[in-house]
Homo-oligomer: A and B are copies of this chain.
């Protein structure tokens, strides 16, 4: 029997995060003000400041509070296909509200708030990277991946081009783009030895 210990608090916390996402979708996460969130959530400003040290921290918690499809990799014989599949899912999430704009806003925050950067990396990037690295390791063990490949590097190489498209060119990340990227990464840019010969 749970004696509703400290129940009110949790309620409020959730309400605030829910409002954050809601309001963020309406007016944009960049224009969010603590003041507006407090107002909309029917909560004192203090109640927010008590829980989060910065807008970035609130955004991060709000992001992570969203129903996480908890995407994980398939482990078929075809690593490339598995990676693609996974990327499709990730990209689809990032492609639309609320996750996409939220991540964008968080990365923006991270550029001038090292604490947000650290937390974001730890709680958002690293878990994703972990899964990827695990999947790659399995592939490597099965010989589907070049054995002398640093897996953290692989992680950066796989994620980088997607984030580049997301943050810099800001064009939609299509399945074709994903296919191309992974295709290229696996094939390498060198002229094919076979072709040369």
Contact = CB atoms under 8 A, between A and B. Distances in A.
B156 A161 contact: yes
Nearest to A126: B169
A121 B168 CA distance: 7
Give the oligomeric copy count: 4
Contacts of A5: none
Interface of A: 28-31, 104-105, 107-112, 114, 117, 120-121, 125, 143-147, 149-150, 153-154, 156-157, 159-165, 167-170, 180-181, 184-196
Contacts of A161: 156-157, 159-161
Main secondary structure of the interface of A (DSSP, over half): helix
B147 A191 contact: yes
Contacts of A189: 145-146, 149, 154, 157, 185-186, 188
Contacts of A184: 149-150, 153-154, 157
Given A111-B104, A159-B164, A161-B156, A187 B188 contact: yes
A181 B191 CA distance: 17
Nearest to A106: B111
A193 to B, nearest CB: 6
